[in-house]
Amino acid sequence: MIKGKCWVADDYVMAYDIIIQEYWTSAIDPAENSKWVMAGVKEEFNKENAFKDAGFTFIVAAHNFAGGGKSIEHVITGLMGAGVQAVFATSFARLQFRNAINYGLPFVTCDDIDKGCETGDELEYNPETGIITNISKGASFQSVPAAPFVAEVGSAGGLMNYVREKIAKGEPIE
Amino acid sequence: MGMTITEKIMARNSGRDHVVPGELVWTDVHTVMTMDYLGKTCFDKFRSLGKTEVFNKDRVICVSDHLVPPPNQKFATMLNEWREVVKQHDITNFYDLGRQGIAHQIMVEQGHVLPGTISIGTDSHANTYGAVGAVGNAIGVTDAAVAMATGKAWFRIPKTVKFHVTGKWQPWVMAKDLSLHIMGMMHWNGHLLYKSIEFTGPAIESLSMAGRMTLCNMTVDLGAKNGIIAPDAITQRYLKDRAIGDWDMIASDADAEYDQVYTIDISDLGPTVAMPGKLDDTVPVEKLIGTKFNKAFVGTCTNGRLEDIATIAKILKGKQVHRDVNMILVPASQTVYLQALREGHIETLIEAGVAVDTPSCAACAGIHTGVAGDGDIVLSAGNRNMTGRMGSKKAEIYLTSPSVVAASALTGVITDPRTLSI
């Protein structure tokens, strides 16, 4: 069970606004990438550590979260470094959806979630059942549960750990 | 039930007879591509998996494209670290400055992508590989590291949407116009999120490999997982002296199931332009005739090929770029550059007042070579036009085909190439 407050984004939050151009060539590192995460999304986050200091555990978004066609993983590590533990959206862009799975950061698809939350609301997420509860509003939402492979990668702490363990044990990857 | 070409490729490379959309599989990858600014991280992550040798050193393709030639000390140092790590891993195919090109161009032109196989790359436009009937997929450095170690990648089988394109192409209308038209129709990262897109029909079969690459390239901007065109005689001819390895003529089954089928008559399509800011805000060129701009750019993994250069040379031959316009051409690879030089296009373009720069991603990534400044209005044959993409957030980018860029460069205002007397 994960509990914390949420930040509600608009439609089409773009990957290249989550991590702006000047940081695309930075090292992939949660501490580093989280300093300027979301800098291009809202003016209020365009200050060092601004999004991180706001202390959001969840992001709630609508269509095509993290889209625009950037495959850089800084987007995911930036969010993780800022303390984000799950993102709920009506849809995700595939490049970052994939990266999120590979890092074990839940990108959770949930219809209507964007209409049921306001920034600052206290939410609770149960990864086992997929139920998202908005404690502040007394409402709950059923999200699409993670596929078994995704859950397995998540509990290994990401694809690197998952594959590293398999390689160490000499197990096939299939 | 039959399978689409993408399903068949996913099935055969995961050792299955059959797959269905939604299924999750680990597949073999034919090649893994990475580039200068992310490559070192891929190798570092790869070693952290407990491996020292990549799965096949002929099949990890390394390219310098985003940072070359280095415009500053930071990039120069990054490139030095990159060269060191590629050398350390004894990678066979390293396309460094001097032999460089944009990674996606290199992958196809040098025969590293084969019909019926899966190739992945750490840059979003890896969808380009679908032009030869391969599944080309953009991935992050984590997937690249895993594939370098194991020769495998995981995929969810996507549903396929078919675009059946009929009719005859109007003069000066290019594959880019069709890409932008579909973008307007389906929306940027809109209805095609996660889908596989298959292009079929007589108007696709008549397209050259350059046009097919443009079309598949921009499917990533539709939000799609991949874009693909079944191999045919044109593919065969193109791959004859390039393909490294065996391949066969894979195609969708007649009874394959599609999520949606759209039919487009290309005879109706004229030159198309995407307005600054959003890729799907597209209009026919007629609506913008007379619009002023000051920078013209042809290049990128979308439109920097020989055919694109030949097209702009044909338009600009014996004429002069308008005095209020700065035009830059960046060929997609050294091979393309040399061919264009031998065919006389480079001479034609320099005489017309076009600046030609060495192959790289150039200003498309907004990091060097002709970046946009405050107040610039750019007419670009690249692939993205969002605010700040080519540099300044106070610049505007119109996206269109090379023929519209060249025709407009002559007059200094957006011009329909069909109205030129050539």
Domains of chain B, earliest start first: 5-264 (3.30.499.10), 272-419 (3.30.499.10)
Neighbours of B179 (CB within 10 A): 29
For chains A and B, CB pairs below 8 A equal 100
Residue among A28, A70, A149 whose CB faces B154 most closely: A149
Position B119 pLDDT exceeds 90: yes
Nearest residue in A to B220, CA atom: A69
A30, with CB counted inside 10 A (0-12, 13-18, 19+), is: middle
Query: Which residues 6+ apart lie within 8 Å of B191 measured at CB?
Result: none
A147: nearest CB among B24, B140, B386: B24
Please give the single-letter amino acid code of residue A33: N
Span B88-112, mean pLDDT?
Answer: 98
Whether residue A154 lies within 8 A of chain B, CB to CB, comes out as no
Per-residue tokens: B415:
């011009």
Q: How many CB atoms lie within 10 A of CB B277?
A: 13
Residue A69's pLDDT is: 81
Distance CA A18, CA A75 (A): 6
State the CB neighbour count (10 A cutoff) for residue A95: 26
Locate the chain B residue with the closest alpha carbon to A97: B194
The whole-model pTM stands at 0.95
Nearest CA among B281, B262, B283, B253 for reference residue B271: B283
Is there a contact between A60 and A10 (Cβ–Cβ < 8 Å)? no
pLDDT > 70: percent of chain B? 100
- Position B1 scores a pLDDT of 85
CA distance A90 to chain B (A): 12
Q: CB–CB of B189 and A98 under 8 A?
A: no
**CA dihedral over B93, B97, B102, B105, signed as positive or negative:** negative
Please name the residue that has the structure tokens 């759209």: B262
Task: Tell me which residue of B192, B66, B200, B179 sits closest to B122, measured CA to CA.
Answer: B66
Q: Name the residue in chain A with its Cα closest to that of B196.
A: A94
pLDDT value at residue A106: 95
Query: Which residues, including other chains, have CB under 8 Å from residue A50's CB and lie 6 or more apart?
Result: A38, A39, A44
Q: Which two tokens stand for residue B64?
A: 């310098």
Give A71: exposed, middle or buried? Use CB within 10 Å, 0-12, 13-18, 19+: buried
Q: Is B227 helix (H, G, I), strand (E, B) or coil?
A: strand
How far A45 CA lies from chain B's nearest CA (Å)? 17
Name the CA radius of gyration of chain A, rounded: 16
Q: How far is B344 from chain A (nearest CA, A)?
A: 36
For the sheet with B60-63, list strands across it.
B94-95, B60-63, B31-35, B118-121, B135-138
A94 inside 8 A of chain B by CB: yes
- The answer to whether the CB of B53 falls within 8 A of the CB of B133 is no
Q: Report which listed range, A21-35, A146-160, B52-66, B177-191, is most confident.
A: B52-66
Q: What is the CA radius of gyration of chain B?
A: 21
pLDDT digits (tens, 9 = 90+) for B357-397: 999 999 998 889 999 999 999 999 999 999 889 999 999 99
Residue B402: cis peptide before it, omega within 30 degrees of 0: no
Q: Which two tokens stand for residue B132?
A: 């030869």
The answer for residues whose C-beta is within 8 angstroms of residue A138's C-beta and 6 or more apart is none
Q: Which residues of A touch B143 (CB under 8 A)?
A: 98, 102, 159
Cβ within 8 Å, pair A164-B50? yes
A69 neighbourhood in chain B, CB within 8 Å: 124-125, 138, 189, 220-221, 384
Q: Is the pLDDT of residue B189 over 80?
A: no
**Cβ pair B48:A16 closer than 8 A:** no
Res. B421: pLDDT tops 90:
no
| The CATH number of the domain covering residues in A2-145 | 3.20.19.10
Q: Which of A70, A73, A174 sits opposite B141 (nearest CB)?
A: A73
HSE at residue B205, side-chain half, CA atoms within 13 A, is: 8
DSSP state of B326: E
Does the pLDDT at position B352 exceed 90? yes
Q: What is the 3-state secondary structure (H, E, C) of B196-208?
A: EEEEECHHHHCCC
Q: How far is CA A101 from CA A78, A130, A159, B10, B142, in A?
A: 15, 15, 8, 20, 11
Residue A62 has, within 13 A of its CA and on its CB side, a CA count of: 9
Q: Which residues of chain A have pLDDT under 70?
A: none
Burial B4-31 (b: 16+ CB within 10 A, else e): bbbbbbbbbbbeeeebebebebbbbbbb
Name A4's bridge partners: A123
Distance from first CA to last CA of chain B, Å, rounded? Answer: 51
pLDDT of residue B422: 80
Secondary structure element (H or E) that encloses residue B32, with its range: strand B31-35
Give me the pLDDT at residue A10, please: 78
pLDDT grade, residue B118 (50/70/90)?
Answer: very high
Of the candidates A86, A3, A88, A174, the one whose C-alpha atom is nearest the C-alpha of residue B153 is A174
Could you give the ipTM of this predicted complex? 0.91
Pairing of strands A122-126, A2-8: antiparallel
Report DSSP state, residue A39. Answer: T
pLDDT in tens, B300-333: 999 999 999 999 999 999 999 999 999 999 999 9
- Going from N- to C-terminal start, the domains of chain A cover 2-145
Is B189's CB within 8 Å of A71's CB?
A: no
Give chain B's count of helices (H) and strands (E): 14, 18
Whose CA is closest to A88, among A137, A140, A50, A47? A140
Provide CB contacts within 8 A for B276, sequence distance 6+. Answer: B385, B387, B396, B397, B398
- The A residues from 109 to 128 touching B (CB cutoff 8 Å) are none
Mean pLDDT along residues B126-155 = 97
Cross-chain residue pair A94–B45, CB shorter than 8 Å: no
Confidence at residue B258, expressed as pLDDT on a 0 to 100 scale: 98
Q: Quick one: three-class SS letters along B110-175?
A: CCCCCCCCEEEECCHHHHHHHHHCCEEEECCHHHHHHHHHHCEEEEECCCEEEEEEECCCCCCCCH
Distance CA B314, CA B317 (A): 5
Q: Do A69 and B75 touch (CB under 8 A)?
A: no
- Residues of chain A neighbouring B193 (CB-CB closer than 8 A): 64, 91, 93-94
